[in-house]
Amino acid sequence: MSVELNHTIVHSRDNRESADFLAHILDLTVGTEWGPFIPVVLANGVTLDFATVPAESITVQHYAFLISEAEFDTAFGRIEEQGIAYYADPHRKHPGEINHNDGGRGVYFPDPSGHGLELITRPYGGWS
């Protein structure tokens, strides 16, 4: 049996705001609301289903997205245009910088609910 991740639920203060935010940064489409979920579908078919929950029940998570160099340029441009704080590292010790790990580029930034988002152009360890 082949095992694939199909979807995951992303807790948000406002599911529409968070779905729209990610879709805008990564040039993705926001799907049709289904029950309490607003989906954003990634290129590999995995769906991030955003659900509104009370802010105090949100456990901050980390979501990393592998994108092309051209997609990085576009997404990073949107991050800068919107004045979103960004970092070269997950511990936020290098603000206003990107990293060049594994010969690619990477950046960390928060989503509207405080989740840590990461964009990378090369998988860690050179895996492809």
What average pLDDT does the segment 35-53 reach?
A: 97
Question: What local confidence, expressed as pLDDT, does residue 26 receive?
Answer: 98
CA dist., res. 35 & res. 58, Å (int): 19
Tell whether the model's pLDDT for residue 1 goes beyond 90.
no
pLDDT class of 128 with cuts at 50, 70, 90? low
Which tokens hold the place of 86?
């960004």
Give me the mean pLDDT over the 60-79 stretch. 98
Query: Beta strand pairing status for 37-41 and 47-52?
Result: antiparallel
Give the helix ranges, DSSP H, for the chain.
Answer: 15-26, 69-81
* Alpha carbons within 13 A on the beta-carbon side of 84: 24
Tokens 């935010």 appear where?
21
User: pLDDT-based confidence at 115, cuts 50/70/90?
Assistant: very high
Greatest extent of the chain over all pairs of C-alpha atoms, in Å = 45
Cβ-proximal residues to 51 (8 Å cutoff; 6+ apart), any chain: 9, 10, 11, 12, 15, 36, 37
Query: Per-residue confidence at 33, pLDDT binned at 50, 70, 90?
Result: very high
